Amino acid sequence: MSTRIKNRISAKAALFTESVIREMTREALRHNAINLAQGFPDFAAPEELKLAAQEAIAADINQYAITWGSRELRAGIAAKSAEWQGRTIDPESEITVCCGATEAMIASLLATVNPGDEVIVFEPFYENYGADAILSGATPRYVSLHPPEDPDGEWYFDAAELRAAFNERTRAIILNTPNNPTGKVFTREELEVIRDLCVEFDALAITDEIYEHILYDGVQHISPATIEGMAERTITINGMSKTYSVTGWRVGWTIAPPDLTAAIRKVHDFLTVGAAAPLQAAGAVALRLPNSYYEHLSKDYLKRRDQLLTALRAAGLIAYRPRGAYYIMTNIAGFNFRDDVEFVRHLIADIGVAAVPGSSFYNSSLGSQQVRFAFCKRAETLAAAGERLHRLVAR
């Protein structure tokens, strides 16, 4: 019997592909490859957080939290922002706890963007932003982050190119600092250039600061909302995933002025109702960890960065030195592969190391000779990957 099935897929869902990053994780499992693709740690989360989560469940914190986040967690977020950023934030009207920074970003866009509005995104970008723009009806305008000539140098944007992307339809700019995948940490001067354009064009900044505590080489994280004139037009996004090595907990948040927060809370409520209540309770404990926790975090990541950077360079890749986050972007042009996808397939199937094709961070074809490696892994994992990478040869 022949049945006719009409096209059941929405125009929006048809417009973007599955996450390449998460696909690479599945490929890594299939080939038993070392997974340097997806950014999740293969080491334990802090003991006190695991205990706090267990205790919260035992204490029956098992029902819905307040939809925009438990009081305790919001108080913790406000206190930490005061200590680290010198910001005064009202947890009653300016914070929304979400299911990860991922939900925080889509909820922020759905709350602020109308179909046809333009949203500026630096390219290469964390791949979710492309799909987020489509889901929210925004038209993305990409502005290049250029790789440095010297791989130890800084990725940069051209202020004239950025200015050319702003116009009266610009609703927001998405900023990710420290940046995935480049490791760039935006400087105060760069943020001031962005501020001037946001003010001139009355645009919002939606800032993903999920790697704020993972920094190298003495570089400082500057939260864009702390730049004069930005607090009233910034939605600051952060979360527990990276800072506390709990990517599976799905706890993130937004900090935004009350009118924006009210809109974000409405969207968030109907998207997910709320993040897991016992993990919010454990989150409040995490936010009270002493400053030494963050110092150790950065120091441990510095060792991992240097270990992988050395291994990638020894294998013949041009590896850009990241100043923050836990990824290394590389250039593979010297290996004479057709493109990044062919290179990564070979890397996974024949070398036994998984990475992410650079093209998944680009809208343009500029990523076709780039590949991203994650180093949020144990020293043994990175050493084993380094051994295997020795087998890489040019075609």
Q: Where does this chain bind ligand PLP (CB under 6 A)? A: 39, 100-102, 126, 176, 180, 208, 210, 239, 241, 247, 252
CB-nearer residue toward ligand PLP: 356 or 392: 356
CB-nearer residue toward ligand PLP: 21 or 315: 21
To ligand PLP, the closest distance from the beta carbon of 168 in angstroms equals 28
Cα–Cα distance for residue pair 292/286, rounded to 1 Å: 13
To ligand PLP, the closest distance from the beta carbon of 206 in angstroms equals 11
Task: Please name every residue paired with 140 in a beta bridge, in sequence order, or none if there are none.
Answer: 119
CB-nearer residue toward ligand PLP: 250 or 388: 250
To ligand PLP, the closest distance from the beta carbon of 128 in angstroms equals 7
CB-nearer residue toward ligand PLP: 70 or 201: 70
To ligand PLP, the closest distance from the beta carbon of 101 in angstroms equals 3
Contacts of 78 (CB under 8 A, 6+ apart): 89, 90, 91, 94, 95
Cα–Cα distance for residue pair 119/216, rounded to 1 Å: 30
To ligand PLP, the closest distance from the beta carbon of 179 in angstroms equals 7
Q: Per residue in 236-268, is it b (16+ CB within 10 Å) or e — as a string?
A: bbbbbbbbbbbbebbbbbbbbbeebbebbbbbb
Contacts of 109 (CB under 8 A, 6+ apart): 119, 132, 133, 135, 136, 138, 172, 206
Residue nearest to ligand PLP (CB): 100
CB-nearer residue toward ligand PLP: 172 or 392: 172
Residue recorded with tokens 């094709």: 357
Cα–Cα distance for residue pair 357/386, rounded to 1 Å: 18
To ligand PLP, the closest distance from the beta carbon of 117 in angstroms equals 21
Residue recorded with tokens 């600092």: 177
CB-nearer residue toward ligand PLP: 39 or 278: 39
Percent helix, strand and coil across the chain, each rounded to 5?
A: 45, 15, 40
